[in-house]
Every structure is written in C-alpha cells, then in structure tokens.
Amino acid sequence: MARVRTGLERLLDGDGPRLAGRRLGLIANPTTVDGQLAHSIDLMVAAGLDLVALFGPEHGLRGDAQYMVAVGDESRDRRTGLPVHSLYGHTEASLTPTPAMLEGIDTLIFDIQDVGSRYYTYAATMVLAMRACARAGVEVVVLDRPNPLGGELVEGGAVEPGFESFVGLFSVPNRHGLTVGELARMSREVERLELALTVVPMDGWRRDMRYADTGLPWVLPSPNMPTEETALVYPGMCLLEGSEISEGRGTTRPFEIAGAPFVDAYALADQLAADRLPGARFRPLAFTPTFEKHAGRACAGVQIHVTDRSAFRPYLTGVAFLRAVHALWPGDFAWRKHAYEFVDQVPAIDLLCGSAAVREGIDSGASLDDLAATWAAAERDFRQRRAAWLLYA
C-alpha cells in the first residue's frame, strides 16, 4: 500500500503555496518530520526557505517538558541558531504569540501531529496563533497530518458557554474526527477570522485509516503519548486528570493503566465488565507510579485492552471508569480542586467535559445510559455541521 504523504512532504515537493521570498515562522515539535524522520526545520533550511523564527507548543519545541510545565523562551535554537519562542509559559497570555514575536514574519506555518482529542492542546495552540495572525496581518499555512483515531467516529459533548479553556478552546466533541487542517478551516469560519489561511492537505489519507495504515512513523507527540494505542484511549481516560485518580503517568502505559491506592482492582474490573463497554476488556493490576499522582505509592486498578477498535468508545469508557470508582469508593474518590490549564474557578472535570453535566450526574448516582444521554444531542449536531469543513472523503 502506498504511504500517505503529509502536508509537509507535499509542500517540499512543490505541491503547496510558493513560500520563496517569504519570511517564515514555524510552530513545531518532535513530530514535525517527514516519512524518513527528517525534521522540517532541517528540510526547510536545506530547501532554501527563509525561516526566521521557531515556536514551541506545550511540552516545548524539543518535546521534553511534562504536561502543564511552563517552558521558557530559548534565546536561540542550538542546531540552527534561530530564535525560539515558547507558546506555553507561566500565564494564560503566554499561550498566544505576541505582536513582537510575529514582527518580521510574513507566513506562520503550523506542522504538528495531533492525536484527535479536543483536550490535546496543539490544535488550541494553532487556533490561538491564527487569531494573533489575523490581528497582525500574517498569513497562516497549516501542513495537514493524519488523525490517529481516524476521521469517521465522533464522541462526546460540546463546550458550553462559561466552560472555555485551553482544553476547550473551540466547541467540538472530545473525539472530533477532524484533522488539524479541518479544525483550522472550521475555526476560521466559526470565528469569522479575517485571515489568509492555506491548508496543504495530505495525499492518500482516508477517514477510515488507523495510523498504522498510513505507513508513517509514530513519533511521540508528547512525553506521555508513547504509542498509537495511547492515543486511542486518551479521549476518555484523559478525563481522569479532573480527578485524584492516577491516569497512569509515571508508568510505561499512561492512560491505558489507571487506578489509586484505595482501589480494589478486581472489584473495579468486575464493575467495568458489568457495564458492557464495547470493544474493550479490563485487566486487574497493581502499579506504582514513579511521578505525578500517588508517586511512589502502591496503586491498584486496571489496564484497558482494546479488543475491537471500531467498536471501542473511549469517551464512554472514561466516563464509566470515573462513575465506577465514585460508586465503589465514594469516601475516597475526589475531583481535582486546584487550577487546571490556567483556570481555577471551574472544576477541571467540567473543563474537560465542556459542562458540569457529567460531574453532576456521577455525583448524583446517574446510570451510564443517563450520562451518555447528556452528550448525545451535541454529537448528532456536530456530525451534521462538520461536513462543511471536511477535506477527505
């Protein structure tokens, strides 16, 4: 099977906009590579393009910072000598390029591998940069890459007014089924941005593809996203960041492994099996995180084993996990109370879900079917609306 050509490869092959003579900025990280693992910074310099500045999202240009850890500006990139600007610092304002950062740039290029989940912050970085470029009169070029979850299934609710944040910057379901190029098209239209935007689409990508079908190498998009399988469970198990349950950071299988010191692994596995969640089995296990929540403490929980990717519903599974732990250990379960992604007035779980409905339902003992009903209408609405932004059959 022929390998998918990314937007980066098409651009360098001459299939994209002509950038010769343009002063370029590049938002990049370790995933910004071609099919032979050559980084776009090196490729663009070798092609004679005029790169004048680099921008790093959450986790940094080199991808070595943990989540929600501020990254300071590097004065210069050690390899190229180009100035490096951080788009994830100590304040919410640091998430957006400043006019000074954009000064001297004609075109800002975005080329980062996303994982297909709304809370994963790279697409939010892209949209904040689009807003800044619209104000500054800077062109934006998005080099498209695959959605590792495919482009067909949609799962989760909308972001209601008052629940916007860096993990809910635009109102799409938690698993949206769009590529970053399609998200860029959506955001320009929905926000009515007066922006010169060019999306360089992929060649050969289909919406029914899993990442392994693309022929492209998997590069860790962030320190706790080691595999394609991690990305598959992430749209649901990231919800645990809104609780005091370990989502498996500090283990070798983050988001697939989850639990806490007070959990009985077999009782949890039995409850999740009773929920008849599609496409997955739950194996009881013990683990000790080396960092993050419950670091150095013996925990018990489950590992999610996906048995049918097409049937698996990660968001439903994540909600079921929270519901099960809350029901089995109500005296030990706790929602996260401290600030999350620069917001301290709204519970983290509400920011992740886009509303208070899931938290309130779990707290009141709602059934899993009743919880799923809280996002069903938003799912149906988005499936219809997103047709206008799709680039691939």
CA triplet 176, 223, 8: central angle to 5 degrees? 60
Q: Buried b vs exposed e over 334-362: b needs ≥16 C-beta within 10 Å?
A: ebbeeebbebeebbbbbbbbbbbbbbebb
Strand order in the sheet with 84-86: 84-86, 50-56, 23-27, 107-110, 139-143, 197-200
The total of other beta-carbon atoms located within 10 Å of residue 91's CB is 8
Would you state the pLDDT for residue 2?
Answer: 75
Would you state the pLDDT for residue 58?
Answer: 87
Please report, rounded to a whole number, the percentage of residues in the chain having pLDDT higher than 90.
Answer: 91
For the chain, domains (ranges, CATH) are 7-223+385-389 (3.40.50.12170), 228-379 (3.90.1150.140)
Q: What are phi and psi of 186, to 5 degrees?
A: -60, -50
Pairwise CA distance, residues 221 & 229, whole Å: 13
Would you state the pLDDT for residue 71?
Answer: 58
Would you state the pLDDT for residue 63?
Answer: 58
The model's pTM: 0.95
Q: What are phi and psi of 33, to 5 degrees?
A: -130, 165
Show the low-confidence residues of the chain (pLDDT under 50).
68
Locate 264 and state its tokens. Answer: 């009985």
| Average predicted confidence (pLDDT) for the chain | 95
Pairwise CA distance, residues 218 & 242, whole Å: 28
Would you state the pLDDT for residue 306?
Answer: 98
Pairwise CA distance, residues 173 & 235, whole Å: 10
Would you state the pLDDT for residue 60?
Answer: 77
Sign of CA dihedral 145, 238, 286, 362: negative
Residues 298-338: tens digit of each pLDDT: 999 999 999 999 999 999 999 999 999 999 999 999 999 99
Would you state the pLDDT for residue 79?
Answer: 83
Would you state the pLDDT for residue 77?
Answer: 84
3 in Cβ contact with 138 (< 8 Å): no
Give the type of residue at 79: R
Q: What are phi and psi of 288, to 5 degrees?
A: -130, 105
Would you state the pLDDT for residue 235?
Answer: 98
Would you state the pLDDT for residue 59?
Answer: 77
Cα-based distances in Å from 46 to 40, 49, 301: 9, 8, 49
